[in-house]
Structures are given as structure tokens and as C-alpha cells.
Structure 1
Amino acid sequence: MFKAICLIRRKPGMTREAFIDRYENGHAVLCAKLIPGMAGYVRRYVVPDQTFLYPGAPDLDFDVVTELWYENREAYEASMKSLEDPAAAHALAEDERKLFDLSSIRRFIVEERTSALPPGGSGQ
């Protein structure tokens, strides 16, 4: 599986609840419609009062970890190429401006490794 990860902060002044609602019921729906070829599309929202930071670590500067999954790099590249369509690119950019602190967005590709766990989970 080929995955792109985005770390994103909500637009200043927007509550966490409004951000999640708008992302789930607006932007995620738009992305699913306009970005072809995704094998998975997941948003993982940070739970602020349940965040652990090591001493000296900076505060988190994002509200959501967004994952876009593809079967392979070729599928990802074809999907991103579809955003060259001016209408699709404009629709996504307009929606992102209303929802995200655009200066905060970081997107990167990850290599995933999965650990085999004993029956019943780890520590068993």
C-alpha cells in the first residue's frame, strides 16, 4: 500500500467541533468525489486532552492526520494528475481556504511496516 500523510491545522477561529463537522460533511465528501483512485481515505483527529508529549517536546501544531491510500505509486501519481483539471483544482482550493490554515499543511509519503503480534495482542 502506498500512503500519503497530511498534517493539517484548522483555520484560526474555528472550533474543533466545527472543523470536524465541516471536514467530514464537506471537504471529505468533495475529495472522495474529485480525487479518483484512492484505496482508502482516513482522517484521524487529535484529542487534545489525551495527548502525551515528552518533556521538552513542542506543542502539536496540527489538528488532524489525514491519510490517502493507494494501491501503488503509479495510482497515486495518476490521482494527483487528475488535480490538474482546473475545475477540480479550483473547487478543492476554495474549500481548503475555508477550512484549513494553509500555511500549516505538510504532506509526505510514508513507507509502512506492520508488526506481527502474538494471538491476543502485544504483551501476551
Structure 2
Amino acid sequence: MLKMIILIRKKPGMSRDDFIHHYETSHAVIGKRLLGHLWTKYVRNYPMSLMEYQPEENSVDDSYDAVTEIWFKDQADVDEMARIINIPENNRLILEDEEKFQDRIHTRLLMVEEIDNGTVLG
């Protein structure tokens, strides 16, 4: 299964709450409307604390403010998403919305092959 991971920083000066609110009530809605039929799963993750290397810290990791995961059935769906995004009116809508809440120069997209061996913890 293919998965896209998107690392996003909030716009400088924007609060965490405002960033999450805009993402959930505007950008995610636009994405689902235009592209949701191509996704098998769509998850937005918002880091709460930095724990991995500094467990004594209890502050929000400011490296990225959202880690978005989008799963695809196959490469054809990834290609179709790119085609839809590049339709001029869709591209304009998406970019204008991103400018409202993202520090776009720092956004990173990773295509990964997800391997799940079915391990259940606990």
C-alpha cells in the first residue's frame, strides 16, 4: 500500500489552536471534497510533546505542527490526485488556502511504502 506523509509547519505567528482549526475546518474539507474518493485513509496528526529524545521535555515540538498521512490503493490513484490538483482552479483553491495557515516553504512530502506485519501490542 502506498502512503504519502506530509510534514507541515504553521504560518509564523499563528497559534497552534488556530492552525488546527483552519486545517480541520477548511483545508481538510477542501482535500476531502476534491480528492477523498482516491484515498483509502486520511489522518492528520498534531504533535503534543517532544518525547523521543528528551522525555523530560513537555513542550510542543516546533519542527512540524502537523504530520498528515494519506493512504492510496495504488499508483494510479496517486497519479489521478496529481492530475486533479494541477487543474488550474483546484490548484489556485488549494494554494490560496495553504497560504492562510501553512509555512509552505518548509512543507515536506514523502511517498512511502507502508509495511504492516499485523503486530498487535498489548
Q: How does the TM-score come out when normalised to structure 1?
A: 0.84
Number of residue equivalences: 115
Query: How far apart are residue 60 of structure 1 and its match?
Result: 4.8
CA distance in 1, matches of 2:43, 2:82: 17
Instruction: List, as ranges, runs of 4+ consecutive aligned residues in structure 1 with deviation greater than 4 Å.
Output: none
Question: Structure 1 residue 2 and structure 2 residue 2: aligned?
Answer: yes
Aligned twin of 1:84: 86
CA distance in 2, matches of 1:16, 1:32: 22
Q: 1:38 to 1:102 in 2, by over 3 A?
A: same
Q: Give the counterpart of 2:105 among 103, 106, 115.
A: 103
* Aligned residues: CA RMSD: 1.6
Q: 1:66 to 1:93 in 2, by over 3 A?
A: same
Question: Structure 1 residue 39 and structure 2 residue 20: aligned?
Answer: no
Aligned twin of 2:118: 116
Counterpart of 1:2, as a letter, is L
CA distance in 1, matches of 2:113, 2:85: 24
Is the Cα–Cα contact under 8 Å of residues 3 and 110 in structure 1 kept in the other structure?
yes
CA distance in 2, matches of 1:30, 1:89: 11
CA distance in 1, matches of 2:28, 2:71: 14
Larger-gyration structure (1/2): 1
Query: How far apart are residue 53 of structure 1 and its match?
Result: 3.7
Identity %: 35
Q: How does the TM-score come out when normalised to structure 2?
A: 0.86
Gaps spanning 5+ residues in structure 2: where?
55-60
CA distance in 2, matches of 1:71, 1:41: 12
Gaps spanning 5+ residues in structure 1: where?
none
